[in-house]
């Protein structure tokens, strides 16, 4: 194929993007491709929603039939191919087959992901017609073009790159702005590497995902199309897995999750909710999610209000047992609640942190155990309401 | 006592209110009283939060020590007496003792509830000083004055009155605007009747509460002070319970819950989420709550957007099993999604319902069983964000 190798992707991986015409706006890339010369191992995790985009069923089927080997990942934005019935699934399969023929591989080695408006048939002909251009030298190339082509309501492309001590690359590319927009749906995360994945890539991906994308919430909603993919281009997959790989993948995925929170609809602040002193890590995440999805916590951050009461009250209704009289709430470095009482003398410092810093730290120590976890979110603004109230009408 | 009997309350119950000075605004009632001549049976249900207002502990203790008999219910607004430690509990007890002495009953027959700002000591002296006026002919009298005195961010007092076929009265009085405002906290519901409660008033109250206040959500948050009280002034408590009482109580409580949703912060629409075809009633409530707390559903209602996708997607992530391809979504009378596909020809009618009617019906039939339930909420507006972002700063 005449696609160049890109220095912004792991070795052996090439990327391209074109505008195929699903999205009407001019100069708006809406079809992206990641491709290797040989089929390489991948693993995927999907939304837990019962409502599934067509690609979820087909991806599951393809990965199962290919033994987890993937040659190409195609992504369109602008149409989620969801609530489109069996016809939507057939549409997905047709595109996979066409791309497989073009690049010379079995159809099950092609994954085709969709994100965008739900309930409308995918304009398959436009996608099919664009495939020759997409795999030619005339497409736009590189990870950045691909990252751009998968966006919907996101304002900025999201790429994170890190190197393993041995020189291998990990590149993460993501999209997502609200956790769901049933019109412009979906969070995608692509974790790409040229390091071998070892024997259990799905287990590795689950572990990474649990500590990154699973700890992100913009509005608490879940898309029918959410997909996170781990894919390695390494030729020597029999080689032992670099023990650092999991750590670096987790770091890359966490950075992507934080970028998604920063780009949350209407967001003006990235919020890290840090729960300490929890009975176990799962409990810490439960408390963190409850705080991070509370509209009152999120509006307080938007108002730069060091409102310890809303943080404590959200934790106290999370279902995790702790004694509020022993808990401590910290905003930035300022302890605003301790030993059952507010600490009003520290609220000024907390308020300054919320005013001046773009990243806000809301921490609660439950004094109920040794575990801790971070959850990321953004503030809730009147702009969020406007974006989501005015979206279709 | 020189308080008149009021015709807007069940027989044997009198109500009064004064401004004691907790709230600074002029002509703002902030201390209310319900009182009987004899101690009468009552039952109460409190917040499930681990963070508890001082009154919750003392009310539990008093009802237990008095054998469930109550002479007076005192309520202040403007200060929640929460996160005030053991001193706050002592404050509550002092006020109960003073009122008990004034009206001539044991302290445990007095309940003293608080709602308002948390984390600040209650100005007990102002409350104590106001008790003689409150129990005199110079207070404002009647259910309406009481209903007014317990409000915080609510815009309107909430009273519902119904008569049993035999002539007994049920009067409900409530307050609440967001489910929580940790500065101006709390939902209160008072269910007052002159019909006998039968042997298990708490069981009766739980049943009523589960189908009314428990099915209400404004922002998904829970206050540390939430309290629902059932109280009967009937002298002949040994008489059998009118079989209609539960039905009428449930109706009154449901009407109060809907009034709270209408008065939700920033709300412009009352939303009834109706879940049908659920495996059981509990599952229907779970699905209903998930839809009713989804910011995307609530902003769609605010934008008058007949967005079936957000309703379906919220149901699909609720944890209740159903097949989205069999489900149906109706807005008003318009079926906007059926058999796995949107019904765009009906969206115009749905849009008109959302534009023209103040009460919006969002219904989903899961086609997964015989059970159904309603949940009430309101839309999410930019005003909600402004009210809650600007509250303290």
Domain CATH for B220: 3.60.70.12
Give domain status of residue A6, yes or no.
Answer: no
How many angstroms away from the CA of B241 is the closest CA of chain A?
35
Residue B32 and residue B150 in one domain: yes
Residue A202 and residue A245 in one domain: yes
Q: Do B310 and A219 touch (CB under 8 A)?
A: no
| pLDDT grade for A265, boundaries at 50, 70 and 90 | confident
Out of A96-105, A256-265, A359-368, B361-370, pick the least confident: A256-265
| pLDDT grade for B103, boundaries at 50, 70 and 90 | very high
Residue B131 and residue B250 in one domain: yes
Give domain status of residue A165, yes or no.
Answer: yes
pLDDT, residue A220, reads 66
Cα-Cα end-to-end distance for chain A: 44
Nearest to A303 among B299, B384, B389 (CB): B389
Residue B222 and residue B300 in one domain: no
Give domain status of residue B317, yes or no.
Answer: yes
Using the predicted structure, report yes or no on whether residue A371 has a pLDDT greater than 90: yes
Domain span at A326? 270-389
Give domain status of residue B106, yes or no.
Answer: yes
pLDDT, residue B183, reads 47
- Known catalytic residue: A186? yes
Distance CA B291, CA B269 (A): 15
* The domain boundary residue, chosen from A231, A262, A293: A262
Give domain status of residue B44, yes or no.
Answer: yes
Distance CA B165, CA B262 (A): 29
Q: What is the DSSP letter of A214?
A: G
| pLDDT grade for A3, boundaries at 50, 70 and 90 | low
Using the predicted structure, report yes or no on whether residue A155 has a pLDDT greater than 60: yes
Distance CA A288, CA B298 (A): 23
Distance CA A96, CA B255 (A): 55
Task: For chain B, say whether A222 makes contact (Cβ under 8 Å).
Answer: yes
Q: What is the mean pLDDT of chain B?
A: 92
Residue B33 and residue B176 in one domain: yes
What CATH number is attached to the domain comprising B335?
3.10.20.340
Q: Do A385 and B180 touch (CB under 8 A)?
A: no
Residues of chain A positioned with their CB less than 8 A from the CB of B303: 388-393
Number of independent structural domains in chain B: 2
Using the predicted structure, report yes or no on whether residue A181 has a pLDDT greater than 80: no
Nearest to B341 among A50, A83, A296 (CB): A83
B141 Cβ contact partners less than 8 Å away, ≥ 6 residues apart: B3, B4, B6, B14, B15, B16, B17
Using the predicted structure, report yes or no on whether residue A393 has a pLDDT greater than 50: no
* The domain boundary residue, chosen from B214, B239, B260: B260
Residue A276 and residue A254 in one domain: no
User: Contact, B294 vs B310, CB < 8 A?
Assistant: yes
Distance CA B344, CA B366 (A): 20
Rg (CA), chain A: 22
DSSP A291-347: HHH-HHHHHHHHTT---HHHHHHHHHTSS----TTT-EEEETTEEEEETTEE-GGGH
Q: Is A111 helix (H, G, I), strand (E, B) or coil?
A: strand
Residue B301 and residue B172 in one domain: no
pLDDT, residue A179, reads 52
Task: For chain A, say whether B391 makes contact (Cβ under 8 Å).
Answer: yes
Residue A214 and residue A311 in one domain: no
Distance CA A68, CA A62 (A): 8
Using the predicted structure, report yes or no on whether residue B242 has a pLDDT greater than 60: yes
Task: For chain B, say whether A220 makes contact (Cβ under 8 Å).
Answer: yes
pLDDT tens column, A298-345: 999 999 999 999 999 999 989 999 999 999 999 999 999 998 899 999
B92 annotated as belonging to a binding site for a ligand: no
Give domain status of residue B6, yes or no.
Answer: no
pLDDT tens column, B309-351: 999 999 999 999 999 999 999 999 999 999 889 999 999 999 9
Task: For chain B, say whether A87 makes contact (Cβ under 8 Å).
Answer: no
Residues of chain A positioned with their CB less than 8 A from the CB of B300: 388-389, 391-392
Nearest alpha carbon to residue A110 among A147, A72, A79: A72
* The domain boundary residue, chosen from B201, B236, B260: B260
């Amino acid at each position: 194929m005449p696609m160049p190798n890109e220095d912004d992707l792991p070795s052996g991986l090439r990327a391209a993007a074109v505008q195929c015409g699903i999205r009407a706006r001019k100069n708006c890339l809406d079809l992206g491709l990641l491709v290797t010369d040989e089929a390489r191992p991948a693993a995927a995790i999907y939304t837990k929603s019962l409502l599934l985009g067509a690609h979820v069923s087909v991806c599951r089927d393809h990965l199962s039939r290919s033994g987890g080997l993937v040659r190409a990942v195609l992504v369109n934005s602008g149409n989620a191919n969801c609530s489109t019935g069996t016809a939507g699934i057939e549409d997905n399969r047709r595109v996979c087959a066409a791309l497989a023929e073009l690049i010379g591989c079995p159809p099950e080695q092609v994954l085709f992901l969709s994100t965008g408006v739900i309930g409308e048939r995918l304009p398959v002909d436009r996608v099919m017609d664009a495939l020759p251009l997409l795999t030619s030298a005339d497409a736009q190339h590189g990870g950045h073009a691909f990252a751009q082509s998968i966006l919907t309501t996101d304002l900025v492309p999201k790429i994170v790159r890190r190197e393993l001590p041995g020189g291998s690359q990990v590149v993460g590319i993501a999209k997502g702005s609200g956790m769901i927009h049933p019109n412009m749906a979906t969070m995608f995360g692509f974790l790409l590497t040229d390091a071998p994945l070892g024997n259990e890539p799905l287990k590795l991906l689950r572990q990474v995902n649990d500590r990154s994308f699973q700890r992100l919430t913009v509005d608490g909603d879940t898309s029918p199309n959410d997909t996170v993919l781990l894919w390695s281009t390494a030729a020597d997959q029999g080689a032992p897995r670099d023990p650092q790989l999991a750590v670096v993948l987790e770091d890359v995925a966490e950075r992507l999750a934080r970028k998604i929170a920063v780009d949350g609809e209407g967001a003006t602040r990235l919020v890290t909710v840090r729960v300490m002193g929890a009975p176990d890590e799962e409990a810490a995440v439960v408390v963190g999610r409850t705080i991070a999805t509370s509209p009152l916590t999120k509006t307080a951050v938007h108002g730069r209000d060091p409102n310890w009461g809303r943080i404590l009250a959200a934790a106290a209704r999370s279902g995790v047992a702790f004694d509020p009289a022993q808990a401590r709430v910290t905003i930035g470095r300022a302890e605003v609640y301790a030993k059952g009482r507010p600490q009003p003398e520290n609220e000024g410092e907390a308020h300054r942190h919320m005013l001046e810093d773009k990243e806000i730290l809301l921490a609660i120590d439950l004094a109920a155990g040794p575990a801790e976890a971070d959850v990321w979110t953004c503030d809730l603004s009147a702009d969020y309401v406007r974006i989501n109230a005015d979206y279709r009408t």
